[in-house]
Amino acid sequence: MMATTTSTHQPPALSFPRPIFAAVSPHPFLQAHLTAPNARKAPQRANGRTAQEFRTPGINTGSLTHCNGSAVVRLGNTSVVCGARAEILADVDAAAAANGAIAGADEQDPDEEREEIESLRLLVPNVELSTGSTPQHIPGNAPSSFAQTLITRIRSLLLSTHLLRASDLRILYTPPSSPDEPDEATAAELKGYWVLYIDIFYISIDGNAFDAAWLGLLAALQKTLIPHAFWDEDLETILCSDDPSDAHSLSLRGLPIPSTFAVFEGKRDWDECSEDDETDWMLSDPDAFEESVCRESVCVVVDCSAGKKGAKDGILRRVEKSGGGVVDREGMRGLVRRAVERWGVVEAVFSGKT
């Protein structure tokens, strides 16, 4: 947005150019925007969106050479590079012993698989904010509490949604049946695991870092190709086939999409203490400026891909809420509805790509 220049005629009321108003008193600035002066048009936020409006993500995949799957996601001015890279965890003896005979079972309880992935640390997501993406994160310091919170949230969502199957990450070896008893099928041995390093780099942050990171991670994982790995008896090591037709992609469970809302608490006027006047706004997909004025935030993760009816029946995967008590039960119901709508939009972007 360009800075407005001073006008030729001075208006009588105290008036500032927009950037100065926003910098000097951010809270009244946003409130002045949200209280619409004219009833014909829906009130707009400072960034030109309505309170309910999300930013449409732009997704680009496969741009990094050294990754098994990668994505660049833009959410307005927030942009994220995510690369997923698979490496082999060969030293699996101790881990396998702890887990018992897991290799045999084909269909497993998702919770057991989660246990397997979590205890072996097969998923290693990390974020980097200190890339000059925002003035708050200057390199040279340890990861800030914001970065640590962010990555913990991403990891816990990754595990709790059971997004990845442990069977995709196992490297199995079926020994050739012995010549004495050729009929007897030999059980597959577990030789190793694929470990997925998921590195999320922010190029620029303009609010809603979590949603952008998660969309980047999803897009990268959807495109991830794991090479076919096998145990080589001669060399006694795990080798991979470099033929793309042998490789498999990850079969993800569902498509959980987060929607973040910021709750803006407007200041009520003293003279009119009417309760019916709307003074709190739930802003979808807040930008950096809005995040700086809002205390309460809600993140709703829904997944509607399981149902056949599209966006009609969704599964609520996670609700995170912090910072205040404005959103009540009714408000939360509305937010979930908005999150389901959002799911439809994001899903369309994803399926447009795939």
Partner 1 sequence: MAAASDRRRINAPSSGTSAPVFARTVKEPGYLQSLRPARTRRPNELRKTFLQTGIVPSASGSAYLEIPTTSTPNSKSTLIPPTSSLKITASIQGPKPLPRSAPFSPSLLLTTTVKFAPFATRHRRGYIRDAAERDLGVHLETALRGVIIGERWPKSGVEVVITVLEGDEDGWWGDAGQESASGMNGGGWALLNVLAGCITVASAAIVDAGIDVVDVVSGGVAAIVRDPTARNETERKVRILDPSPAEHQEIVAACVVGYLASRDEITEIWMKGDVGADSDGLIEGATYAAVGSVGVLKDVLLEAVEAKFKNQAATTSKEGTKRKQQDVKMTG
Pick from 59, 117, 151, 340: which binds partner 1 (CB under 8 A)?
151
44 binds partner 1 (CB under 8 A): no
For 2, 71, 179, 205, 229, the CA distances from 65, given in Å and listed in that order, are 37, 11, 45, 24, 20
DSSP assigned state of 328: -
For residue 19, how many other CB atoms are within 10 A of its CB? Answer: 13
CA distances from 321 to 73, 160, 317, 327 (A): 25, 17, 14, 9
Among 28, 254, 324, 344, binds partner 1 (CB under 8 A): 28
216 contributes a contact to partner 1 by CB under 8 A: no
Residues 47-76 that bind partner 1 (CB under 8 A): 64-67, 70
Q: Which of 351, 287, 293 is nearest to 323 (CA)?
A: 293
* CB of 155 or CB of 321, closer to partner 1: 155
Q: Going by DSSP bridges, is the β-strand pair 189-204/123-128 parallel, antiparallel, or unpaired?
A: parallel
We find the least distance from the C-beta atom of residue 277 to partner 1, in angstroms, to be 14
| Contact between 172 and partner 1 per CB under 8 A | no
CA distance 216 to 182: 48
Q: What's the closest the beta carbon of residue 139 comes to partner 1, in angstroms?
A: 4
Residue 260: alpha-carbon gap to chain centroid:
10
Of 199, 285, 291, 296, the one binding partner 1 (CB under 8 A) is 199
Q: Which stretch binds partner 1 (CB under 8 A): 100-108, 191-199, 329-337, 346-354?
A: 191-199
Instruction: By CB under 8 A, tell whether 321 contacts partner 1.
Output: no
Q: Which of residues 237-296 bind partner 1 (CB under 8 A)?
A: 237-244, 247, 267, 269, 288
Crossing angle for the helix pair 110-120 and 145-160, to the nearest 10 degrees:
140
- By CB under 8 A, tell whether 86 contacts partner 1: yes
Q: Judged by CB under 8 A, does residue 15 bind partner 1?
A: yes
